[in-house]
């Protein structure tokens, strides 16, 4: 909670600077740099700084070691939370109470009772300027509170201790499941408290006329040296800690370890494990995107306005009397994933040990279902973004080129159409699959006994040392799914172009 509260101010500065970008290209670049730390797997970051923590704390007192470890870990979490906060602030529509509404309300101050006026003012602020920061704070607090992989590898399993590491290790040490569930009650209550502001805002947001559908404030060309310096200063720690230092520190050992992996038996086993993880990630991605698309467009199809309904999910458009109940249903679908992979996995583990479901316990279903539910909130965010950036006018203009008699024009049409539709959705699916692939908790707790995803092998071996072969395996695990996704996108685009040229 402290980290999330600290991150609110830098997030506001970063978002303001991104929105003030002079060009679309610079805006995209700044946004990419700001959110990039979120996409670096927690497992790899923890492994990278495991040795660093050991070197920093060796030969020091327990108190100094605890302060050094917690300080570095807190800085890493702050950078990651800032990336999440920026992404959410850019994605969420602005509140529907504009400055004019607040100004009008201020004029009524002398005509209303003080308590009623302040209650109305607070409501306008909560569902206006404070809406996006409140939701972003809840999600940032949850991410910092739930984080497991980096904490485990940085050895935050003594003092100071991370509850997620403590509970996971207790379960791995064969603590009875019901004891694990009982020990989970306290952290679960804390998560619900952190989630409270976001739940309140999303469920109680008043309706409006839908003019806030597009979250664009225009591009500003007003340069400011101080603002640029401040923006760069806030971005630098994340880029250094998550990109530059890991690359500099690990480049040579990765190359050396690559030589060791040329052994056919080792490479074959590693590729099988990587493909296993990739298969589960792809399956969970397809299911989560399907559910997310249904959530975002289910009722909108009744009115023929899927994009407008995507914002209705956040309470931005007039809704029927049944919508509050539907919002509750949607939040109940998202709640398991919002509570974190550890809580979700232990809950599913208990569910699949019930008499009616025990036969499915040691199958692929628990892990696939767990990954789907764990990534569903993220999938909803990605689908909302894809729906909001879709441009029906541009797509219609591209379709008009299909009537051309020249094959070159039709190929250009196919390329444009692919970029506006299939390409964007494949890229969104890649981002979701990336999150599924690197989820250690779900894979460790819910995987079938006869299946070993590469992510569990990496997590287990990373506790025993920093070998060059292990570093190369980590790089191979990171690049193989990306190569498969790139090939799929290339083949999809090629097939679209070839079909249109006939």
Tens digits of residue pLDDT in 187-243? 899 999 998 888 888 777 654 444 444 444 445 545 567 778 888 888 888 889 898
pLDDT class of 382 with cuts at 50, 70, 90? very high
Half-sphere exposure of 392 (CA within 13 A, CB side): 6
Quick one: pLDDT at residue 6?
A: 82
Domain covering 261-502, topology: MetI-like fold (1.10.3720)
Q: Residue 259: what pLDDT?
A: 66
pLDDT at 300: 46
pLDDT band at 65; cut points 50, 70, 90:
confident
- pLDDT-derived band at 283 (thresholds 50, 70, 90) equals very high
Q: Would you kindly state where each structural domain of the chain is located, as residue ranges?
A: 1-250, 261-502
Mean per-residue pLDDT of the chain: 81
Supply the pLDDT for residue 12.
86
Tracing tokens 């920061």 back to the chain, one arrives at: 133
Nearest of 354, 347, 411 to residue 373 by alpha carbon: 347
Q: Which of 337, 341, 365, 369 is nearest to 171 (CA)?
A: 341
Q: Which of 28-32, 154-158, 179-183, 301-305 has the lowest mean pLDDT?
A: 301-305
Angle (CA) 318 323 328, round 5°: 135
Burial class (CB in 10 A: 0-12, 13-18, 19+), 45: buried
Segment 317-322 long-range contacts (CB within 8 Å, at least 24 positions apart): 317/207, 317/208, 317/209, 317/210, 318/207, 318/208, 318/209, 318/210, 319/207
Q: Tell me: the pLDDT tens digits for 460-471?
A: 888 887 777 888
Which distant-in-sequence residues (6+ apart) come within 8 Å of 90 by Cβ? 15, 18, 31, 215
Highest-scoring range by mean pLDDT, 200-204, 411-415, 488-492: 488-492
pTM for the whole structure: 0.83
pLDDT surpassing 50 at residue 396:
yes
The predicted pLDDT at position 122 comes to 78
> Which residues partner with 157 through β-bridges?
161
Buried b / exposed e over 152-189, threshold 16 CB at 10 Å, is bbbbbeeeeebbbbbbbeebeeeeeeeebbebbeebbe
Contact 110, 83 (CB under 8 A): no
**How far from chain centre, in Å, is Cα 465?**
29
User: How confident is the model over 88-108, as pLDDT tens digits?
Assistant: 888 876 655 556 677 777 777
Residue 387: predicted pLDDT: 86
């Amino acid at each position: 909670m402290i980290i999330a509260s600290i991150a609110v101010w830098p997030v506001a500065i970063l978002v303001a600077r991104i929105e003030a970008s002079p060009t679309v290209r610079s805006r995209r670049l700044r946004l990419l740099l700001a959110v990039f730390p979120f996409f670096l797997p927690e497992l790899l970051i923890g492994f990278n700084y495991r040795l660093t923590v050991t070197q920093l704390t060796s030969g020091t007192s327990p108190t100094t070691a605890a302060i050094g470890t917690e300080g570095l870990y807190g800085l890493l979490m702050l950078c990651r939370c800032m990336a999440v906060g920026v992404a959410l602030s850019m994605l969420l529509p602005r509140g529907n109470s504009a400055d004019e509404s607040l100004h009008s309300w201020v004029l009524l101050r002398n005509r209303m009772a003080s308590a009623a006026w302040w209650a109305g003012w607070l409501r306008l602020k909560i569902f206006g300027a404070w809406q996006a920061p409140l939701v972003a704070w809840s999600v940032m607090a949850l991410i910092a509170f739930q984080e497991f992989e980096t904490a485990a590898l940085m050895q935050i399993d003594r003092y100071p201790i991370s509850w997620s590491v403590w509970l996971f290790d207790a379960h791995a040490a064969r603590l009875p499941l019901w004891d694990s569930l009982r020990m989970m009650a306290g952290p679960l209550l804390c998560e619900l408290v952190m989630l409270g502001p976001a739940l309140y805002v999303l469920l109680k947001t008043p309706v409006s006329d839908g003019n806030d559908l597009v979250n664009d404030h225009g591009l500003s060309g007003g340069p400011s040296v101080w603002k640029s310096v401040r923006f760069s200063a806030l971005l630098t720690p994340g880029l250094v800690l998550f990109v530059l230092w890991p690359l500099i520190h690990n480049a040579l050992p990765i190359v050396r370890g690559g030589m060791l992996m040329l052994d056919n038996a080792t490479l074959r086993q590693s590729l099988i494990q990587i493909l296993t993880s990739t298969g589960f990630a792809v399956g969970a991605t397809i299911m989560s995107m399907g559910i997310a698309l249904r959530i975002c467009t289910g009722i909108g199809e009744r009115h023929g306005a899927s994009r407008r309904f995507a914002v209705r999910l956040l309470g931005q458009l007039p809704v029927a009397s049944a919508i509050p109940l539907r919002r509750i249903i949607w939040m109940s679908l998202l709640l398991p994933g919002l509570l974190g992979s550890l809580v979700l996995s232990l809950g599913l583990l208990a569910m699949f040990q019930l008499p009616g479901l025990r036969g499915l316990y040691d199958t692929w279903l628990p892990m696939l279902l767990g990954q789907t539910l764990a990534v569903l909130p993220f999938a909803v965010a990605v689908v909302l973004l894809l729906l909001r950036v879709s441009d029906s006018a541009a797509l219609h203009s591209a379709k008009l080129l299909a009537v051309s008699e020249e094959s070159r024009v039709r190929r250009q049409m196919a390329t444009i159409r692919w970029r506006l539709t299939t390409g964007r959705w494949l890229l969104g699916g890649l981002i979701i699959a990336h999150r599924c692939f690197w989820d250690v908790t779900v894979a460790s707790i819910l995987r079938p006994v006869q299946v070993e995803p590469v992510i569990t092998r990496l997590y287990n071996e990373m506790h025993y040392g920093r070998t060059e072969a292990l570093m190369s395996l980590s790089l191979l695990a990171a690049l193989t799914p990306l190569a498969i996704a790139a090939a799929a996108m290339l083949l999809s685009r090629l097939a679209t172009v070839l079909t249109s040229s006939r």
